[in-house]
Structure 1
Amino acid sequence: MNFGNSTYNDYYKNIIYGQMSRCFCNKSFFRLLNTYIDCPVDVHVNEIVMGENIKSGGFTRYAQFKPGTYRIKIYKTNEPKKLIFESDINIDKNLAYTGVIAADDNDKTDISLLIIPEAKENYIKGAMSSVKLANLLMDSPQTELVVSDGAVWFSGINYGGVSNNVAIPSGKYNLELRDKKNKKSVAKIMNVGFAPKMHYTIYLVGNVKKPDIKIIIPEDGVNYLGLC
């Protein structure tokens, strides 16, 4: 699977362009999340060190880039020049991206890069928040993410899949990841806060069979990076 050329990426960019067609900002931001569970990694973008010793579940900071094409190289940490992935990425203007380093779903020993653009949903008003889910949980069954009152936020997102943004009432929630078929709990995260008019991505990371599951919920960069 080539995550970088996913149908999701093409579809979502079209939405973003429609929202931002009148914006003249000539900058974007890019960060990386490592979900490749075999080893920590070092990442270079155009020979610039983007991050070193990035462990599973770890993020780099956002770095600012001008629009263009960049060469990304991923190395195994502590194995100098052990190149394990190389590809070009395209960065457009006035966007924030998270590049997710992940195992390929067809060959778990291979690496793919999922590029997730972040869009500001202009319809988010008042005491509402925007959330989406990215499933990087290896060997997982069909899952659903539910809140303590039983409401299902996301269901049936396959490995490497990213949902659309969903508007929720702002506040604190207890979240549970369940096997969709038998309703067995897979992982929980308690007392998670979602602030008004803010955007979040829920990343499911790890391996069900070990298990070493993480539910990671950072703020999206569009909340604070000064994009249009």
Structure 2
Amino acid sequence: MSSYIRVLHASPDAPAVDVYANNTALARNLSYRNFTEYLQVPAGTYNLRVFPAGTMTNPVIDTTIEIPDRSIFTVAAKGRLADIGLLLVPDTPGTVPQGMINIRFVHLSPNAPNVDITLPDGTILFSNVPYQGITEYSTISPGTYTLQAREAGTNNIILNVPNQTFAPNRFYTAYAVGLVGETPPLQLLTPLDGNSYIRV
């Protein structure tokens, strides 16, 4: 049976990269903040190597990952270039309550504190999420939201993201990327997850 993976470049100071799995290119010239499409792959063990785009020597990542049968994953390159690594984010198959959305949060900002993800009125969607933390999905109504990242346990807003629109009957992940007080700045990426439309 097949599985599906996509690659996210979330290393804030790394150049564009080429990504190879068992010497087959998964991504070419993938730049910061960008995702590949989901790629269908056989389940199994993969040697994953990441190179600065256009090169095939001195990989910045050289590691082995296991892709289970009938699974969907986002493979995120994370951390600053000096300590770059991979985080596997499973897009767990499931169902969304009719007319609602499922959303979760992944913390990929290497210099940000633990955060609460809130609404402007202080409603907490996800609390005390550390760097590299992956929350469970939470069910909310579809619509357009302003999302805020606050230093955990405080009202100190470190990121305010208006006009985030989420359509019903879908899965989303909000990925925090970038750096607090540095360049590139802290941002939120809110792509549609593969479990919204891929059946495995």
Same fold (TM over 0.5): yes
Shift of 1:61: 1.3
Which residue identity lines up with residue 195 of structure 2 in the other structure?
V
Q: Which residue of 1 aligns with 2:198?
A: 225
1:91 to 54, 59, 67: 67
SS at match of 1:138: coil
Shift of 1:149: 3.2
Q: Relative to structure 2, which stretch is displaced further, 207-216 or 72-81?
A: 72-81
Percent identity over paired residues: 26
Which residue identity lines up with residue 50 of structure 1 in the other structure?
L
Q: Which residue of 2 aligns with 1:109?
A: 82
Q: TM-score, normalised by structure 1?
A: 0.81
Which residue identity lines up with residue 29 of structure 1 in the other structure?
Y
Task: Please state if 1:37 is matched with 2:9.
Answer: no
SS at match of 1:86: strand
- What value does the CA root-mean-square deviation take over the aligned residues? 1.7
2:167 to 186, 195, 198: 195
Say whether the 8 Å CA contact 2:3–2:42 is kept in structure 1.
yes
Count of matched residue positions in the alignment of Structure 1 and Structure 2: 198
Q: Which residue of 2 aligns with 1:18?
A: none
Q: Which residue of 1 aligns with 2:152?
A: 180
1:75-86 → structure 2 map (5 Å cutoff): 75-86=51-62
Distance 1:172 1:129 in 2: 12
Q: TM-score, normalised by structure 2?
A: 0.91
SS at match of 1:109: helix
2:2 to 9, 27, 51: 27
Which residue identity lines up with residue 59 of structure 1 in the other structure?
F
Q: Which residue of 2 aligns with 1:169?
A: 141
The gaps in structure 1 that reach 5 residues or longer are 1-25
The gaps in structure 2 that reach 5 residues or longer are none
Shift of 1:96: 0.9
